[in-house]
Amino acid sequence: MTMVNGYEQSDREEKIDILNLESLEGRAKEIIPTGGFGYIVGGSEDEWTLKKNRDAFHHRQIAPKALSGMENPDLSTNVFGIPLKTPVMMAPTAAQGLAHSQGEKDTAKGVAAVGGLMAQSTYSSTSIADTAAAADGAPQFFQLYMSKDWSFNESLLDEAKEAGVKAIILTVDATVDGYREADIINDFAFPIPMANLTKFSEGDGQGKGIEEIYASAAQNIKPEDVRRIAEYTDLPVIVKGIQTPEDAIRAIDAGAAGIYVSNHGGRQLNGGPASFDVLESISKAVNGQVPIIFDSGVRRGSDVFKALASGADLVAFGRPVIYGLALGGAQGVQAVFDHIDHELEIVMQLAGTKTIEDVKKTHLLDIKY
Amino acid sequence: MTMVNGYEQSDREEKIDILNLESLEGRAKEIIPTGGFGYIVGGSEDEWTLKKNRDAFHHRQIAPKALSGMENPDLSTNVFGIPLKTPVMMAPTAAQGLAHSQGEKDTAKGVAAVGGLMAQSTYSSTSIADTAAAADGAPQFFQLYMSKDWSFNESLLDEAKEAGVKAIILTVDATVDGYREADIINDFAFPIPMANLTKFSEGDGQGKGIEEIYASAAQNIKPEDVRRIAEYTDLPVIVKGIQTPEDAIRAIDAGAAGIYVSNHGGRQLNGGPASFDVLESISKAVNGQVPIIFDSGVRRGSDVFKALASGADLVAFGRPVIYGLALGGAQGVQAVFDHIDHELEIVMQLAGTKTIEDVKKTHLLDIKY
Amino acid sequence: MTMVNGYEQSDREEKIDILNLESLEGRAKEIIPTGGFGYIVGGSEDEWTLKKNRDAFHHRQIAPKALSGMENPDLSTNVFGIPLKTPVMMAPTAAQGLAHSQGEKDTAKGVAAVGGLMAQSTYSSTSIADTAAAADGAPQFFQLYMSKDWSFNESLLDEAKEAGVKAIILTVDATVDGYREADIINDFAFPIPMANLTKFSEGDGQGKGIEEIYASAAQNIKPEDVRRIAEYTDLPVIVKGIQTPEDAIRAIDAGAAGIYVSNHGGRQLNGGPASFDVLESISKAVNGQVPIIFDSGVRRGSDVFKALASGADLVAFGRPVIYGLALGGAQGVQAVFDHIDHELEIVMQLAGTKTIEDVKKTHLLDIKY
Amino acid sequence: MTMVNGYEQSDREEKIDILNLESLEGRAKEIIPTGGFGYIVGGSEDEWTLKKNRDAFHHRQIAPKALSGMENPDLSTNVFGIPLKTPVMMAPTAAQGLAHSQGEKDTAKGVAAVGGLMAQSTYSSTSIADTAAAADGAPQFFQLYMSKDWSFNESLLDEAKEAGVKAIILTVDATVDGYREADIINDFAFPIPMANLTKFSEGDGQGKGIEEIYASAAQNIKPEDVRRIAEYTDLPVIVKGIQTPEDAIRAIDAGAAGIYVSNHGGRQLNGGPASFDVLESISKAVNGQVPIIFDSGVRRGSDVFKALASGADLVAFGRPVIYGLALGGAQGVQAVFDHIDHELEIVMQLAGTKTIEDVKKTHLLDIKY
């Protein structure tokens, strides 16, 4: 354990055995301090949307495929022109130092080891450059929480571009902090600085709650901001936090090069729909104009399959990776991806889908349970 | 504590911390005597309708709004020509002396402090004049349980008008007491007099059960009574206890200036629908002819949002306020309103709705969960 | 307690307090011996249909009625030309000596005291004549489990007619015993003779299980049997155990003067629908040609209301009455009817229905919960 | 107990009492060692599909039939030209030596004693010839897990034909092992050899996990394989693991003489539909061209009835029989079939269905619960 400002960070670097990703939560809870764990695991209000994010995958079912004449399913894909060995990517997730002393650097290493894609968060514990360096050339995106201070945005975007990120993810569903009760119960303030905020006039986030940090960011985000960031960076801008077809179209009209369907893992607007339940309608509206990334509730290979079959091009998750990070560092992260890839591979074989493209063409059932 | 007729009334006057309104019930249970608490918390029969009042809010979902280009949502509204700082109002709730020695006077103070609207109940522990005085000029409505004795009704209406109330709420869903098992289990009789009943020939309610008190009121309430009260008072009459479009139309035809959609918090007709589930159909039938007030089951900012988006102009609640009253007096009441307003503000920001009018124009999803 | 063949019969004769009918089950369990209680309470297989009988009442909802201009609801009705003070009747229920030493005689007294209707079972513990005498002129029906031996049927029907019963209920849903696990677990055999079976060549039922007793009855019941019984007795024949419109029509075509919609309280065909869920479709098919009796799952006044509003003319129940019988004899039976009538009266008032005819014309909601 | 390689096999040969088949699981768990029991009872991933296999039978309901004029239902049937005394057959189930020292031989005896049909599994603990001999002339099918090594397939098919099996069941839903967590938790490897695998170059299965064994089998199974097996054996080939109408048609086009609707008891593709929920659509597509066998979740006579009424010609189950085998050897197996036949007989009587053909013509209800 590494002790920072009275907060005990894991510094494990070891292989971990994984039965399933759901079971990691309980194991991680034993080693991540209460405040940090509550911040990671929690959702907003009574967590109804958080719970429905999981249940929703049962709303559609995968039919096994008989006599498919295939074997050795292939998980590789290519999205935004980037070749990847797995369609499962690391969602942008803040403050990974809460889980491990190496924070995003270890996550980046683990993701790189599986040939996957990682998105850095604005609120990372490690700097853009350090996290990028840890990936050793593997592809990364940078997620932007837009500041009210445009010069600060430019500074972050400059650094991200310098670090070679392939795209900017603009988060638009967090213009105010969701009402997260775990943070209130724990009176949680970040014990660890956020590396990218050291340039902020207000400081580095340390000692602040997430509500306060979000308040420093822009509440008012407009369509023009999408184009402005795209033009400034000359990188694809992916708009994250889309839950309706209308918003997807507006984002594309504003210049979005990708749509990221997410309800922030149930951490923002409680009382909204499960993210999976809105994916297909958004996908139909987007109609292939730009790639779609999906997250919120993904824990199983079958979840990944269902999301791809409902219109996603990439499927992201955060919490399970953070738990793997806490439990084993970069090797833990790698194990989490290896595990979900293994489950996905089984499902692909049983569903008779040789490639990710085959999965995307699969018709799911929608029996009501 | 203040001891009245062997009943221990809270007399706390202090700030209270609130995690969420659901959690107030357990805290209040510790300080309100069993009989009084059972009267407040209970519903009728096996409380199926009471439970469904809460669940029903999940039947419709709020879609978060991306790139909305807004900030600083504004909760103020204007209903019945009355400017209000919040669309959440205090429902008419009987016998608040069960929760606090200052009863409705403290509630009135708390509601006034947040710029809200309060409805006094016929069965208040404090008099119309005293409760009105405590509000210090803030707007109030008066709720009438019609007596069989018309001269008594006139006397109450005179006093209400004298006190400056802005409207009369005529309750029509309690022509007999719902079968409330908690009151039977506790053999509950009111330990504290009802100030407005001192004029009743039958006495002031003290020592009686609610069933007996309702029996003194009119069972037979007709459309003509609406007009009669309106003409007598020259005030808007709002008919409370509407659960069908047909009844709403009949009430309007009878002269109602407002429709109050409520199932009395699940305390009257068990086996009826959840109040939220019938709101939209009523709203469509009313079609803007008169304002609509909604209650029954509201505990979250997202509930308020959903009710407004389903046709309500004002959203009322009672039990949580009573719990706040018990826990902190006027300051407790204020804290309850501040809390739900805070949750509502977050939801409004995330849903991209700047004003209450924007909320009312929002289209909810209706995914089946 | 009265001890008969090692079986302890209640012989209480006293007033009982009732909170609700559901709670009687637990109270009765304390005084009825295990084997007898298991026989009374149990359903078939895993009791899925038994449970759904209760849940089904939530599938339709009663809308409260505002400004109805009524008071003092009237529960009296007239079915089969018989004036009754309540639409709730005593279902034919076997072997009431399991619950009380006075058996059906006390039940008959209690039902008579409330001005209701009782149906005697073929498998009664007391004789047709004795049970009829106890009713002191109040109306009764006689339920027939048809024997393979027609002369035995004639003997029972003669006795019933002699006793003045107003109609014959022919049970057709028990041509074999449902697979009732409680009886198997308890290795239950009737400790008390069935008075009507003493004429049977095979004996009086004592020491046999219900499976064996049913096996002595006819398995093969045909439409012609309905007419044969009607012609023999010149009494109305009501066919009990109908769950589909097709069967109702066939029974009427066979000469049935009434349709009894029931799934035998979940004791026969498990995996079938809840009885309430099929009532309306049957009522539509019957279309007023003959009266409809309904049972299976009724415990609340609101259940009675919903059944009447879905097409029933009379609503029957058995188990709660048996529990009342065990707890208080004839007075216990009376209390059970008084209680459900009281709940029904409240519901009728709140739903704005002055008479049973008004209830029957009420349109229920069918919101999905 | 017989101890084999440290594994304790039951060697009970005795009559067993059965309350219901669900309760056998708990009793068998007490005598089958943990690893073996986990292998038998487990499903894949979080066992959602496994659970839904049971729940799904409630999606359709059996209406009791009044005045049906029938008695003495007859369970005999004739499928694939084979006369059977019961429509319930033994599903092909691997490694029955895990439950009993006599393994498939006792199962074969028990099935033969009830006049039923048994399917041997490729992964049987006893040899094709021995299992066939134990059946003493009663009909058997042979289930093939196709090997990558065609000469091995020929060798097995030769032996099966030599043993007189009436049909070949080709399993197509296990081209890779489902992700079965119980086996991982128990680190389960087969302690007992699989008799048919002794010819395999890779060995007899002993000491391997099921994942490894499946990996030795063919992953790539094509339509042509169906015809090749049919032509090689000149026996009917039944394709097992069908869950969609499309696959059923493709299998028939490939020469299948029967369709076996199954999701492998929830052991393969989790996240797929309940097997019963897809049966009717498949039956409609097959439209009587070939017989249909159904399994997955069957535990009750009413389940068998519902499957037959939804298009199945034979209904199979495995786990309950294995539990009976462990608890009583051949007599235990016989008791399991006798029990479900008894339940089915009751249901048939109450539903007014004299024959299996009558059952198949029955229209089920589909009320939503």
Q: Is the pLDDT of residue D103 over 60?
A: yes
| pLDDT, position C216 | 79
Task: Give the model's pLDDT for residue C215.
Answer: 81
Nearest to C367 among B45, B184, B277 (CB): B277
Residue in B closest to A219 by C-alpha: B71
Touching status, chains A and C (3+ beta-carbon pairs under 8 Å): no
Predicted pLDDT of residue A338? 98
- Annotated catalytic residue, options C58, C264, C342, C363: C264
pLDDT mean over A123-139: 97
| Region of poorest pLDDT, from B265-269, C4-8, C14-18 | C4-8
C210 falls in which pLDDT band (50, 70, 90)? confident
pLDDT at C201 over 80: no
| Phi, psi torsion values for C119, nearest 5 degrees | -110, 125
Q: Closest chain C residue to D345 measured between Cα atoms? A: C176
Asked if A132 contacts A164 with a C-beta cutoff of 8 angstroms, the reply is yes
Structure tokens at B301: 């900012």
CA of D146 vs chain A CAs: smallest distance (Å): 12
Prediction ipTM score: 0.96
Which residues from C are below 8 Å from D347, CB to CB?
269, 271
* Structure-block tokens of residue A280: 């297909």
What integer pLDDT is reported at residue D105 of this predicted model?
Answer: 98
> Which residues in chain D are closer than 8 Å to A298, comparing Cβ atoms?
none
Chains contacting C (3 or more CB pairs within 8 Å): B, D
Out of A214-218, C167-171, C182-186, D185-189, which region has the weakest mean confidence (pLDDT)?
Answer: A214-218
Q: Kindly report the backbone phi and psi dihedral angles of residue D68, in degrees, each rounded to the nearest multiple of 5, phi listed first.
A: -75, -15
Q: Which residues of C touch D367 (CB under 8 A)?
A: 273-274, 277
Q: So what's the pLDDT on residue B212?
A: 83
Residues A148-189 pLDDT 10s: 999 999 999 999 999 999 999 999 999 999 999 999 999 999
Q: Residue A202: pLDDT band by 50, 70, 90 thresholds? A: low
Residues of chain D with Cβ-Cβ distance to C48 below 8 Å are: 58
Distance CA A149, CA A172 (A): 16
In a domain, A368, yes or no: no
Pick the catalytic residue from B58, B59, B100, B264.
B264
- Structure-block tokens of residue B248: 């709403």
Cβ–Cβ gap C342/B269 under 8 Å: no
Q: Count up the domains in chain D and report the number.
A: 1
The whole-number pLDDT of residue D215 equals 81
**Residues D192-207, mean pLDDT to the nearest whole number:** 79
Q: C302: which chain B residues are within 8 Å (Cβ-Cβ)?
A: 45, 269-271
State the CB neighbour count (10 A cutoff) for residue A110: 28
Q: What is the pLDDT of residue A244?
A: 98
Which of B177, B184, B268 comes nearest C64 by C-beta? B268
Provide the annotated active-site residues of D: 264
Render pLDDT for B103-119 as a digit per residue (tens, 0 to 9): 999 999 999 999 999 99
Q: Find the mean pLDDT for residues C6-26.
A: 97
Partner-chain contact D19 C185, CB within 8 Å: yes
Distance from CA of C68 to the nearest CA of B (A): 6
Does the pLDDT of residue B216 top 90, yes or no?
A: no
Calculate mean pLDDT across residues B253-257: 98
Segment B266-273 shows an average pLDDT of 97
**Residues of A forming the annotated binding site for FMN?**
92-94, 121, 143, 171, 240, 262, 295-299, 318-319
- Domain CATH number, residue B146: 3.20.20.70
User: C-alpha angle with apex C128: C122 to C132, nearest 5 degrees?
Assistant: 130
In a domain, D166, yes or no: yes
Banded pLDDT at B211 (limits 50, 70, 90): confident
* For range B325-344, the mean pLDDT: 98
Please state, in angstroms and rounded to a whole number, the distance separating the CA atoms of residues D159 and D195.
Answer: 12
Any binding-site annotation on D94?
Answer: yes
**For a pLDDT cut of 70, what percent of chain D falls above it?**
99
Whole-number pLDDT of residue A51: 98
Mean pLDDT of A201-222: 82
Asked if the structure places residue B321 within a domain, the reply is yes
Name B89's bridge partners. Answer: B316
Q: Is 70 exceeded by the pLDDT of residue B130?
A: yes
What is the average pLDDT value for chain B, to the nearest integer? 96
pLDDT of residue C199: 67
The span from the CA of C220 to the CA of B83, in Å, is: 76
- In this predicted structure, what is the pLDDT of residue C320? 98
Residue of D nearest to C240 (CA): D66
Of A188-202, C306-320, D215-229, the poorest mean pLDDT is in: A188-202
Answer yes or no: is pLDDT of B310 > 90.
yes
B253 belongs to a structural domain: yes
What gap in Å lies between CA D84 and CA D92, rounded to an integer? 17
Would you call A270 and B302 a contact, using CB atoms and an 8 Å cutoff? yes
Model pLDDT, residue D171: 98
C128 contacts C142 by C-beta, under 8 angstroms: yes
Residue D262 CB burial class (10 angstroms; 0-12, 13-18, ≥19): buried
Cβ–Cβ contacts within 10 Å for residue A253, how many? 12
Average confidence score pLDDT of chain A: 96
Q: Which residue numbers of B belong to the known binding site for glyoxylate?
A: 39, 145, 180, 264, 267
Q: What is the pLDDT of residue A200?
A: 65
- CB contact (8 A) between residue C306 and residue B247: no
The reply to whether residue C221 touches residue D20, judged by beta carbons under 8 angstroms, is no
Taking the CB of residue A297, how many other CB atoms lie within 10 A of it? Answer: 26
Show residues of chain A in contact with D177, CB under 8 Å. Answer: 346
C201 contact partners, CB below 8 Å, separation of at least 6: C149
Q: What residues of A are in contact with residue D251 (Cβ under 8 Å)? A: 66-67
- Contact B349/A48, CB-based, under 8 Å? no
Task: List the structure tokens of C269.
Answer: 């065909």
Q: At what angle do helices D275-286 and D301-309 cross, to 10 degrees?
A: 30
Check residue C140 and give its pLDDT: 98
Other beta carbons within 10 angstroms of residue B137's beta carbon come to: 9
Distance CA D148, CA D216 (A): 7
Cα C350 from Cα B172, distance rounded (Å): 9
Residue D264 counted as an annotated binding residue: yes
Give SS3 for A201. Answer: coil
CA distance to partner chain A, nearest, from residue B133 (Å): 36
Is D12 annotated in a binding site? The answer is no
Question: DSSP per residue over B183-221, as a string?
Answer: HHHTT---SS--GGGGGSTT--STT--HHHHHHHB-S--
Rounded average pLDDT over B318-332: 98
Q: How far C57 CA sits from the closest chain B CA (Å)? A: 8
- B touches D, CB cut-off 8 Å, minimum 3 pairs: no
Q: What is the pLDDT of residue B354?
A: 98
Q: Confidence class of residue B202 from pLDDT cuts 50, 70 and 90?
A: low
Q: Which of A184, A247, A278 sits opposite B65 (nearest CB)?
A: A247
pLDDT in tens, C70-89: 999 999 999 999 999 999 99
Give the per-residue SS3 of C85-97.
CCCEEECCCCCHH
> Mind listing the pLDDT tens digit for each residue in A53-87?
999 999 999 999 999 999 999 999 999 999 999 99
Selection from D257, D324, D338, D279 nearest residue D100 by Cα: D324
Residues 6+ apart with CB under 8 A from D154: D232
- Nearest Cα of chain B lies from the Cα of A187 at a distance, in angstroms, of 11
pLDDT of residue D209: 83
C45 to D69: CB separation less than 8 angstroms, yes or no: no
Measured distance CA(B100)–CA(D211) in Å, rounded: 67
Whether the pLDDT of residue D202 is over 80: the answer is no
A chain contacts of residue D176, beta-carbon cutoff 8 Å: 345-346, 349-350
**CB-CB contact of B260 with B286 (8 Å):** no
How high is the pLDDT of residue A201? Answer: 55
Domain-embedded: residue D38: yes
Q: How confident is the model at residue C182 (pLDDT cuts 50, 70, 90)?
A: very high
CA distance D154 to chain A (A): 19
pLDDT for residue B121 = 98
- Supply the pLDDT for residue D53: 98
The whole-angstrom separation of Cα C127 and Cα B104 is 64
pLDDT band at residue D207 under the 50/70/90 scheme: confident
**pLDDT for position C12:** 98
Predicted confidence (pLDDT) per residue in A16-54, tens digit:
999 999 999 999 999 999 999 999 999 999 999 999 999
- Which has the higher per-residue pLDDT, C285 or C213? C285
**Which of A52, A169, A176, A259 to mutate: most B Cβ within 10 Å?**
A176
Rounded mean pLDDT of B51-73? Answer: 97
Q: For residue A271, list chain B residues with Cβ-Cβ distance below 8 A.
A: 57-58, 61-62, 300, 302-303, 305-306, 347
pLDDT at C345 over 70: yes
User: Which is the catalytic residue, given A58, A59, A100, A264?
Assistant: A264
**pLDDT at D200 exceeding the cut of 80:** no
> Closest to A66 (Cβ–Cβ): which among D242, D273, D278?
D242
Render pLDDT for D298-330 as a digit per residue (tens, 0 to 9): 999 999 999 999 999 999 999 999 999 999 999
- According to the model, what pLDDT value does residue B200 have? 65
Distance from CA of B274 to the nearest CA of A (A): 17
Best mutation target, B54, B60, B146, B179, to test chain C (most C CBs within 10 A):
B179
Q: Which residue of B has its CA nearest to A182?
A: B19
DSSP string for residues in B71-139: -S-B--EEETTEEES-SEEEPP-S-GGGT-TTTHHHHHHHHHHTT--EEE-TT-SS-HHHHHHHHTT--
CB contact under 8 A, D184 and A19: yes
pLDDT at site A1: 85
Strands D77-79 and D82-84: antiparallel
- What's the domain range around B246? 2-360
Among candidates C55, C251, C271 on the partner chain, residue whose Cβ is nearest the Cβ of D67? C251
